[in-house]
Amino acid sequence: DTAVSQTPKYLVTQMGNDKSIKCEQNLGHDTMYWYKQDSKKFLKIMFSYNNKELIINETVPNRFSPKSPDKAHLNLHINSLELGDSAVYFCASSSRTGKAFFGQGTRLTVV
């Protein structure tokens, strides 16, 4: 069983569209995250979320919004996609120990 799974693996869309990436974890973790990896492989946190609070990296545009229907899911919704949003997006989850487990990534290409 995949611990952290995200869909789709690849997403190609036009500028201005709205899209969502789904993430699910079956580890029973309380905290989930979204990371963005740019073309230089740099991983930058976008959001961390548990059942108590959402922490937003202040550099993330408000076009990006996480949505959590329950503790096992944290979806990423993006409005009005821009060319610069093209990247690989990773979902992750962790327990209180801090060890994070990552999904396989979603490669978003905005054309």
Partner 1 sequence: GESVGLHLPTLSVQEGDNSIINCAYSNSASDYFIWYKQESGKGPQFIIDIRSNMDKRQGQRVTVLLNKTVKHLSLQIAATQPGDSAVYFCAENSVKERAGSYQLTFGKGTKLSVIP
- C-alpha 53/C-alpha 74 separation (Å) is 13
Distances (CA, A) of 104 to 8, 46, 56, 87: 10, 17, 22, 13
| Stretch binding partner 1 (CB under 8 A), from 20-28, 67-75, 78-86, 92-100 | 92-100
> Which listed residue (53, 58, 70, 84) binds partner 1 by CB under 8 A?
53
Q: Is 104 in the site for partner 1 (CB under 8 A)?
A: yes
CB closer to partner 1, 79 vs 95: 95
Contact 87, 39 (CB under 8 A): yes
- C-alpha 8/C-alpha 41 separation (Å) is 20
Q: Is 25 in the site for partner 1 (CB under 8 A)?
A: no
Q: Which amino acid is at 98?
A: G
Beta carbon of residue 61, minimum distance to partner 1 (angstroms, whole number): 19
Report the interface residues with partner 1, using CB under 8 A.
4, 30-31, 33, 40-45, 48, 50, 52-53, 55, 90, 92, 94, 96-105
